[in-house]
């Protein structure tokens, strides 16, 4: 067996020690939709469930949209609440009592404070106006891929 000589400068040892013993842990940021699964058939409303771990300053949102368009509608009335590393939100799929056999996408996204504030303003103004115009996909966290499932609306 060959031995490896590892030499670290005093500064490298200090930095490494501070990092290892400071309690700071680098977490991998992720968002996952666990239910429903890609390709599932759903009704007018569906409970979307998942797991996530976000960096400080990031917020979880779920959006729904018609497959093949750039239109999205935030779901659940605002930021999705994380309980430990799990979440769930009720999502409306298409027009109530219609849009049968159409395909829809549901996306779980992590956004920064600016995008979060923009989304929250959309929720507030849409509720006040009683009009839910679509939005384009907001800028998402570069550290976290967007999770999307495609669903088919069924009677």
Q: Are 74 and 63 in contact (CB under 8 A)?
A: yes
Distance CA 154, CA 111 (A): 31
Tally of residues, the chain? 155
pLDDT value at position 59?
A: 96
- Does 54 score more than 90 pLDDT? yes
Mean pLDDT on 29-38: 97
What pLDDT, in 10s, does the model give residues 67-96? Answer: 999 999 999 999 999 999 999 999 999 999
pLDDT band at 142 (very low <50, low <70, confident <90, very high): confident
Tokens of 27: 């977490």
Question: Which of these, 83, 84, 85, 82, lies nearest to 62 by C-alpha position?
Answer: 82
CATH superfamily for 27-153 is: Immunoglobulins (2.60.40.10)
* DSSP classification of residue 30: E
């Amino acid at each position: 067996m060959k031995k490896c000589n590892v030499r670290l400068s005093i500064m490298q040892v200090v930095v490494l020690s501070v990092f290892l013993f400071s309690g700071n842990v680098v977490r991998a940021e992720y968002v996952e939709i666990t239910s429903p699964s890609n390709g599932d058939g759903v009704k007018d409303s569906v409970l979307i469930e998942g797991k996530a771990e976000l960096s400080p300053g990031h917020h979880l949102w779920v959006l729904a949209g018609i497959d093949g368009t750039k239109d999205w509608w935030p779901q659940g009335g605002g930021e999705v609440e994380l309980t430990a590393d799990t979440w769930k939100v009720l999502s409306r799929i298409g027009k109530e009592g219609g849009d049968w056999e159409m395909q829809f996408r549901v996306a779980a996204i992590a956004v920064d404070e600016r995008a979060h504030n923009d989304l929250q303003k959309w929720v507030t103004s849409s509720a006040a106006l009683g009009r839910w115009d679509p939005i384009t996909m907001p800028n998402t966290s570069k550290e976290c891929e967007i999770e999307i499932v495609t669903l088919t609306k069924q009677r």
